[in-house]
Structure 1
Amino acid sequence: MPRLLLVTGMSGAGKSTVLDALEDMGWDIVDNLPTGMLHDFVHAPGRSTNHVAVGMDARSRGFDPQALPDLVHSVPGVRPEILYLDATGAELIRRYGETRRRHPLAQDRPAEDGIGRERDLTAALRLAADAVLDTTDFKPADLRDELRRRYGEEGDELVLTITSFGFARGISRTADLVFDLRFLPNPHWIDELRPLTGADAPVADFVAAQEGWDEFMTRTEEMLAFLLPRYWAAGKTYVGLAFGCTGGRHRSVAAALAMGERLRARGFSPNIRHRDLARRPDDSLELGQARIEGPEKS
């Protein structure tokens, strides 16, 4: 059955990029379609039987966040879904500053005023969404990759993404489950390991040799083996796991890669993403954590 995907959410969160990516994957797309034309567009004479993606937000004529979920689910002959795009207020303000565009709900006021109004306006729509995708940390290429994983093929299995990240640079916003690796000694403070990452064997071996690593990984694997099939059975299509350390370059990377291998051995097909792997080593980010962890961790 063809899919009908409503792409909505916060203005500036990447709707145009999402629609362009879906069009490249063969979807029929239209942006800012008046709500009253949705049925006619989906079932227009001669239209192909491709999946359909419709972009609607505060700029769309007749936009009613309260009524939209029922409208989308009233279209016959398709499998309806809602994708809500979000980003932090600071990131949305930055994007509006770069493009020099005015926010649709704050034509004569600062962008942050419009962002606040829009977040309140679309709160019910966010709750009704089948998937919420926070694009704050995504580069356009990363966002396209994520969309290909989610919407490129009709799948019959859970779409599982494992992300490594650094708490010092902000918690992962795309994760359903977050695991903190900061209980392990920090390889950043070992001179020969500092320039390496958790993808390098010396760091991976160092982390794996620490007390508590094996038990943590085994217990986490067993918990995920229990949870993931139940998420799928409950109708959850996408699950994000995130492993965090201080800077996002050593412990979290090693854990994400190792857990990916463990879950593949159990029959899952996780995608691995390292949010902060390309960052340069930064003592200033690590020092605050060293004070918390104590000298035995440094």
Structure 2
Amino acid sequence: MEILIITGMSGAGKSLCVKYFEDIGYFCVDNLPPSLIPKFAEVTLQGKSPIEKIALIIDIRGGAMFLDLMPALLTLDVMEIKYKILFLDASDAVLIKRFKESRRMHPLTQDSRLVEGIRQEREILKPIKEKADYIIDTSCLTPRQLKEAIIEHFVEGKLFKGIIVNIVSFGFKYGIPIDSDLVFDVRFIPNPYYVPELKPMTGMSSDVIDYVMSYPESRTFLNKLVDMVNFLLPLYVREGKNQLVVGIGCTGGRHRSVTIANKLCDRLKRKGVSAVIEHRDIDRDNKGG
């Protein structure tokens, strides 16, 4: 039996996760009181038709009961029942934006401001985040990208299952992604921005892709980049790293970085690596390429 504990910040996407894990064959239980986890696992194991994959969504909605989570996990350890923990996170700014857009109240803001509720929740969740086997930051992920990340991470047949690679294309003029582990500058590639017919397009266009990849230095760089990431991944897994953020930057984040980031993602996926793509600045004003 495989038990996955899904927890994390309120507003980080746990409700969406329930649907996605059901889609890939998990039996999901939302908001189970943590103190009942050991008994639930015991009863499930004793059933005539044991459930193979279970996802338990546990969060701060349970109030003081959430504090029972760590003791419950210790009980599972004593019972020698294996489990993994997925922690969903997002930046404070994104969480605030999501709560304001949804007009929902944060579970800890009955007597305080939203910012203070988020701060309190981070403090309460700190021990479980440190214990997590997987951490997914949903700050820049669309629902579709979150689903892709879950499929890549939890569906059998993937290599390097302990780590997910987030590839982010960006424009240096808008700043380097603050959570980047590796950053690569592709401004050495001739800029499609200065080709009139390519300027209004993006690196998703076949014309821009053909232009960028027509240069030998682009192809050589991509090959070396794929080799480097493939070399590093098992070393990062060995050291316990569960997420690698690779930033690919050009001037404006619309042309060269988008093409190279997509190519890198495709090449890694073909090798069985769990990879998710994000084009941070592709929809910004077309100034700089």
> TM-score, normalised to structure 1's length?
0.78
> What is the letter of the counterpart of residue 59 of structure 1?
R
Which stretch shows the higher mean deviation, 222-231 or 4-13? 222-231
Structure 1 residues 114-143: Cα deviation after superposition (integer angstroms, max 9, x where no partner): 011112222232222111111112222221
> What is the letter of the counterpart of residue 49 of structure 1?
I
Matched with 2:83 is 80
Aligned to 1:99, which of 102, 120, 137?
102
Tell me: CA distance 1:186–1:154, structure 2 relative to 1, closer, same or farther (3 Å).
Answer: same
Structure 1 residues 223-269: Cα deviation after superposition (integer angstroms, max 9, x where no partner): 2232123334556566553423344321112212333465567x445
The answer as to whether partners of 1:8 and 1:85 remain within 8 angstroms in 2 is: yes
Matched with 1:250 is 255
Aligned to 1:59, which of 61, 71, 76?
61
The answer as to whether partners of 1:28 and 1:52 remain within 8 angstroms in 2 is: yes
Distance in 1 (CA, whole Å) between partners of 2:241 and 2:126 is 20
Deviation at 1:11, TM superposition (A): 0.8
The answer as to whether partners of 1:158 and 1:237 remain within 8 angstroms in 2 is: no
Matched with 1:163 is 167
Aligned to 1:142, which of 140, 145, 149?
145
Give matches, 1:257-272, under 5 Å.
257-260=262-265, 263=268, 267-269=271-273, 271=275
Distance in 1 (CA, whole Å) between partners of 2:4 and 2:175 is 30
Matched with 1:48 is 50
Distance in 2 (CA, whole Å) between partners of 1:156 and 1:108 is 46
> What is the letter of the counterpart of residue 28 of structure 1?
F
Give matches, 1:172-251, under 5 Å.
172=177, 176-208=181-213, 213=218, 216-233=221-238, 239-251=244-256
Structure 1 residues 53-74: Cα deviation after superposition (integer angstroms, max 9, x where no partner): 1112222252238836843752
Tell me: CA distance 1:54–1:169, structure 2 relative to 1, closer, same or farther (3 Å).
Answer: farther
Tell me: CA distance 1:200–1:128, structure 2 relative to 1, closer, same or farther (3 Å).
Answer: same
- Confirm or deny that 1:31 pairs with 2:34: no
Which stretch shows the higher mean deviation, 105-114 or 172-181? 172-181
Structure 1 residues 176-197: Cα deviation after superposition (integer angstroms, max 9, x where no partner): 5332324544322432211222
Matched with 1:4 is 3
Q: Give SS of 2:128's match.
A: helix
Which stretch shows the higher mean deviation, 199-208 or 24-33? 199-208
Deviation at 1:274, TM superposition (A): 4.2
> What is the letter of the counterpart of residue 58 of structure 1?
I
The answer as to whether partners of 1:12 and 1:92 remain within 8 angstroms in 2 is: yes
The answer as to whether partners of 2:170 and 2:176 remain within 8 angstroms in 1 is: yes
Deviation at 1:32, TM superposition (A): 2.0
Alignment root-mean-square deviation, CA = 3.3
The answer as to whether partners of 1:27 and 1:53 remain within 8 angstroms in 2 is: yes
Matched with 1:20 is 19
The answer as to whether partners of 1:134 and 1:174 remain within 8 angstroms in 2 is: no
Give structure 1 stretches of 5+ with no counterpart.
291-297
> What is the letter of the counterpart of residue 61 of structure 2?
R
Give structure 2 stretches of 5+ with no counterpart.
none
Tell me: CA distance 1:202–1:101, structure 2 relative to 1, closer, same or farther (3 Å).
Answer: closer
Matched with 2:119 is 116
Deviation at 1:7, TM superposition (A): 1.0
Tell me: CA distance 1:39–1:270, structure 2 relative to 1, closer, same or farther (3 Å).
Answer: closer
Distance in 2 (CA, whole Å) between partners of 1:261 and 1:143 is 17
The answer as to whether partners of 1:30 and 1:53 remain within 8 angstroms in 2 is: yes
* Identity of matched residues, %: 35
